[in-house]
Structure 1
């Protein structure tokens, strides 16, 4: 995980399923590619939008952070 590319919040924001075809979300400093998830079609998952850091929002979700295990980590969020 140490050799992952760093992305800014601005770069992450472009991967929202609207501006670019990729759909990415960040959680605890890692960026996940959720493009193939049917739950993230059009960059929205319930009240959550792609291209954002969802770390603070997970407490409202009906699932735990293990949900991210099924997605590929593609980078680190440069904060």
Structure 2
């Protein structure tokens, strides 16, 4: 898997580039195919960043990422 910097991740926010990527626990996930992230936003969460800390307040567990294959690691 590839290494992705925070700057590279920030561009994959569904606005600057069409990809919708997020980081979670050091892994990068491509959520572009998720209807819940279509605009690069999911409720008050924005793509292109590390959402590890934000999951603590989410109404779901980390298992929500099980349906997505990680595409890389956050540098």
Provide TM-score, normalisation by structure 2.
0.98
| Shift in Å, 1:72 | 1.9
The runs of at least 4 aligned residues of structure 1 exceeding 3 Å deviation read none
* Unaligned runs of at least 5 residues, structure 2: none
Which of 17, 26, 31 aligns to 1:29? It is 26
Q: Any idea what SS the aligned residue of 2:51 has?
A: coil
Unaligned runs of 5+ in 1: none
1:14-53 correspondence to structure 2 within 5 Å: 14-53=11-50
Query: Offset at 1:73?
Result: 0.7
State the SS of the aligned residue for 1:42. Answer: coil
Aligned pair count?
75
Q: Determine the C-alpha separation between the residues in 2 that align with 1:31 and 1:7.
A: 8
Separation in 1, partners of 2:17, 2:68: 19
Question: Which residue of structure 1 lines up, in the alignment, with residue 61 of structure 2?
Answer: 64
2:13, 2:34 → 1: CA distance? 13
Structure 2 Cα separation of the partners of residues 45 and 70 of structure 1: 16
Provide the secondary structure at the position in 1 that maps to 2:48.
coil
